[in-house]
A = this chain, B = another copy of it.
Amino acid sequence: MLPFAEAFFFMTSQLPKSQAPRVVILGAGFAGLRLARKLANKPVQVVLIDKNNFHQFQPLFYQVATAGLAPSSIAFPIRKVFHKAANVHFRVAEVNRIDTASNSIDTSIGPVSYDKLVIATGADTNYFNNKQIEAFALPMKSVQESLFLRNRILECMEAALVADSVEERAALMNVVVVGGGPTGTEVSGALAEMRSYVLPKDYPELDFSAMQIHLIEASPRLLGPMSGVASKRSEDFLKSMGVKVEVNTLVESYDGHMVKTKDGRTFITNSLIWAAGIKGNILEGIPENLIVANGRVKVDRTNKMLGSENVFVIGDVAIMEEGNFDKGHPQVAQVAIQQADRLYVNLLNELKGKEMKPFRYNDLGSMATIGRNKAVVDLPYIKFQGFVAWVFWLFIHLMSILGVKNRLFIFLEWMWNYFTYDQSLRLVIKQKPRDGEASAK
Q: Give A residues with C-beta under 8 Å from B.
A: 10-11, 14, 16, 52-54, 70-72, 75, 77, 79-80, 83, 86, 89, 91-92, 109-110, 134-136, 143-144, 147-148, 151-152, 154-156, 158-159, 161-164, 172, 201-205, 256-257, 270, 403, 405, 408-409, 412, 416, 422, 424-438, 440-441
Contact = CB atoms under 8 A, between A and B. Distances in A.
Given A72-B425, A147-B431, 14 more contacts: A16-B205, A52-B429, A53-B154, A53-B158, A53-B428, A79-B201, A80-B201, A80-B202, A92-B158, A109-B162, A134-B436, A136-B436, A405-B424, A430-B431
A431 B136 contact: no
Nearest to A438: B256
Nearest to A132: B436
Nearest to A168: B441
B144 A440 contact: no
A432 B430 CA distance: 10
A11 to B, nearest CB: 8
A427 B270 contact: no
B54 A91 contact: no
Contacts of A429: 52, 54, 71-72, 75, 143-144, 147
Given A53-B427, A154-B53, A431-B431, A438 B136 contact: yes
Contact of A172 (B83, B110, B412, B440): B440
Contacts of A92: 155, 158, 428
Contacts of A79: 201-203, 426
A47 B165 CA distance: 22
Nearest to A135: B436
The residue among A54, A159, A256, A429 with the most chain B CB atoms within 10 A of its own CB is: A429
B204 A86 contact: yes
Contact of A409 (B80, B156, B257, B412): B412
Contacts of A161: 14, 91
A14 B162 CA distance: 6
A134 B374 CA distance: 52
Contacts of A158: 53, 91-92, 440
Contacts of A71: 427, 429
A405 B416 contact: yes
9 contacts: A53-B428, A54-B428, A72-B72, A77-B424, A92-B155, A135-B436, A155-B440, A412-B412, A431-B431
